[in-house]
Amino acid sequence: MQHALRLLNLRKSFGPVTVFDGIDLAVAPGEVVSLIGASGSGKSTMLRCINFLEMPDSGTVEVFDKGLSVEAGGMTRGQLHQIREIRKITGMVFQNFNLWPHRTALGNVTEALIHVLGQDAPQARDTAMAALEKVGMAGFANRYPAQLSGGQQQRVGIARVLAMRPRVMLFDEATSALDPELVGEVLKVLRLLAQEGNTILQVTHEMRFAREVSDRMVFLSQGRILQDAPPEELFTNPADEAVKRFLSGTH
Amino acid sequence: MTLDLELIAMALPLLATGALVTIKLAAVGVGVGLPLGLGLALLRLAPNRLLAGLGDGYAGLFRGTPMLVQLFILYYGLAEVPVIRQTPALWWFFRDALFCAGLAVVLNTTAYTSEIFRTALRAIPQGQIEAALAVGMRPWTLLTRIRLPLAFRNALPVYASEAITVVKETSLASTITVLEITGQAKRLMSQTFGILEIFALASLFYLVINLACLGAFAVLERRQARGMRP
Ligand SMILES: Nc1ncnc2c1ncn2[C@@H]1O[C@H](COP(=O)(O)OP(=O)(O)OP(=O)(O)O)[C@@H](O)[C@H]1O
Ligand SMILES: [Mg+2]
């Protein structure tokens, strides 16, 4: 079976701090996998290594048929090209939305359609409006990010990713920066994406949500995967004392 | 004191001619200095230490020395260098006070402009850059579509001040015989006794140019701020 995403022997450290020292993970097409673990356990770093916002020290990242192995030493031109190819088929939603403030909601979505995928303006507009429609933001297409609430901004952030038709979606705590009353509207969109068969790797602190939508939950601790199991199994049968403590702490 | 209308009638056309030269010098300063300053800002932010160091060195040199001294070096100093006198293209350029003044203005404003845009480029939140990288943007697209537009928005109010500084600095060109506003005023001063009137008029010319300039920037700013306010 072809993997949607595969990490092989991924290593990453920041100076003296080793985040992970040889991690393996595979995600099948259509699978929804949630990464959980304590603060500082390396969840964000792992996600960011997949689209090379963080450069792994070594190891292999494969997203469908695009793959890149990193060894010590600088990047070659070919590798930079490979990185862009991987980025084009992965979509990342950020904790802090990271919308471009000089572009409207619509502009934020069309930007990469036009300037990365090379769509013409009318086509990009249609694609973008469809994506905004899907996240319930079509009525706000001409608003600037500063004129939107956090939940609305995040939904635009999701539309920006959606419009690119990524083959793997990466969500890094998509609801953590939101006021509690705004979390629901974003979770609703994420739930829809999960149910539609998208391949998703998400970092989340919303345990109830993770349990509901995930096919697997992966518990990370000090750069190691302590448990990788379907939610029910993880919740009923934590493999490790650390997992148990983490789960009891978040309920 | 009564206003000497005859004096004003004589001074006005001459000062207006000077104003055209002032505007020309300032336009060259902004028109050439802005792109060069942007380029220099990018150079100073380059990952390559040597390139960044060269850029920093340039900016330090021109920000750290008076423009009047630079003008004298360009116009009087270089004229004593044999290579320059003997190379027709160079001599054609450096013999001309207006060209030297234009060059000095550009060299100066490039240094200051690079400082403004270096700060503005660095102030862009890293997350917005990462969002662009994460969708697969190439460095050039990232620069033209995201980094420069955002830097312009950050920098515009400060750059407006730089632009009117350029207008005012062109008055130094009068010291190397260029007849811009101040140069014309000095000439009139030696021919008449209405020193106060003449320089008051000259000030008025500068003021009008600068207010127009600030007005233009305010319009730009308002346009760019559209939607960016919470
Ligand atoms: N740019 C960086 N420079 C230095 N150290 C870093 C950097 N980014 C992350 N780290 C360190 O790497 C480790 C893993 O961080 P990471 O952000 O991946 O954790 P996380 O699991 O996402 O935590 P959280 O739940 O708080 O978001 C931490 O010890 C962190 O301090
Ligand atoms: Mg994190």
The verdict on the CB of residue A17 being under 6 Å from ligand 1 is: yes
Q: Which residues contact A95 (CB under 8 A, 6 or more apart)?
A: A172, A173, A174, A176, A177
Q: Hey, of A49, A55, A98, which one would you mutate to test binding to chain B, going by the most B CBs within 10 A of its CB?
A: A98
Binding-site residues on chain B for chain A (CB distance < 8 A): 125, 127-128, 130-138, 141, 145-146, 149-150, 153, 224, 226-230
Helix (H, G, I), strand (E, B) or coil at A129: helix
Task: pLDDT tens for chain A, 251 residues: list them.
Answer: 689 999 999 999 999 999 998 999 999 999 999 999 999 999 999 999 999 999 999 999 999 988 888 876 666 777 889 999 999 999 999 999 999 999 999 999 999 999 999 999 999 999 999 999 999 999 999 999 999 999 999 999 999 999 999 999 999 999 999 999 999 999 999 999 999 999 999 999 999 999 999 999 999 998 899 999 999 999 999 988 889 989 887 65
Q: Work out the minimum CA distance from A112 to partner chain B, whole angstroms.
A: 7
Q: Which residues of A touch B141 (CB under 8 A)?
A: 115-116
- DSSP secondary structure string, B195-208? HHHHHHHHHHHHHH
Q: Which residues of B touch A118 (CB under 8 A)?
A: none
Contact B136 A116 (CB under 8 A): yes
Q: Which atom of ligand 1 is nearest to the CA of A46?
A: 18
Q: What is the average pLDDT across B26-48?
A: 97
∠ CA A14-A17-A18, nearest 5°, is 90
Q: Which residues of B touch A91 (CB under 8 A)?
A: 134-135
Instruction: List the 15-74 stretch of A: residues with Cβ below 8 A of B.
Output: 51, 53
Q: Work out the minimum CA distance from A207 to partner chain B, whole angstroms.
A: 26
Instruction: Check if A104 contacts B (Cβ < 8 Å).
Output: yes
Q: Which pTM does this prediction carry?
A: 0.89
Pairing of strands A200-203, A32-37: parallel
Contact A87 B135 (CB under 8 A): yes
CB A196 within 8 A of CB A203: no
Q: How confident is the model at residue B193 (pLDDT cuts 50, 70, 90)?
A: confident
Q: Hey, of B135, B143, B156, which one would you mutate to test binding to chain A, going by the most A CBs within 10 A of its CB?
A: B135
- Neighbouring CB atoms inside 10 A of B63's CB total 12
Whole-number CA gyration radius for chain A: 18
pLDDT tens figures, B96-146: 999 999 999 999 999 999 999 999 999 999 999 999 999 999 999 999 999
- DSSP secondary structure string, A44-79? HHHHHHHTTSS--SEEEEEETTEEEEE-SS---HHH
Q: How far apart (Å, rounded) are the C-alpha atoms in residues A100 and A93? A: 13
Q: Work out the minimum CA distance from B147 to partner chain A, whole angstroms.
A: 10
Task: Report the chain B residue with the minimal C-alpha distance to residue A150.
Answer: B230
Q: How confident is the model at residue B211 (pLDDT cuts 50, 70, 90)?
A: very high
The verdict on the CB of residue A119 being under 6 Å from ligand 1 is: no
pLDDT number for residue B229: 52
ipTM over cut 0.85: yes
- DSSP secondary structure string, B12-62? HHHHHHHHHHHHHHHHHHHHHHHHHHHHHHHHHT-S-HHHHHHHHHHHHHH
Q: How far apart (Å, rounded) are the C-alpha atoms in residues A10 and A24? A: 7
Q: Which atom of ligand 1 is nearest to the CA of A38?
A: 25
Q: How far apart (Å, rounded) are the C-alpha atoms in residues A11 and A49? A: 9
Task: Report the chain A residue with the minimal C-alpha distance to residue B141.
Answer: A115
Q: How far apart (Å, rounded) are the C-alpha atoms in residues A234 and A218? A: 9
Pairing of strands A200-203, A168-172: parallel
- Residue B230, pLDDT above cutoff 50: no
Tell me which residue of B87, B115, B116, B96 sits closest to B25, measured CA to CA: B96
Q: How far apart (Å, rounded) are the C-alpha atoms in residues A240 and A248? A: 13
The verdict on the CB of residue A45 being under 6 Å from ligand 1 is: yes
Domain boundaries, chain B: 33-165+203-228
CATH class of this structure's domain B33-165+203-228: mainly alpha
Both tokens of residue B69? 């001294």
Both tokens of residue A208? 């109830």
Contact A101 B150 (CB under 8 A): yes
Tell me which residue of A155, A119, A110, A157 sits closest to A135, measured CA to CA: A155
CB A6 within 8 A of CB A60: yes
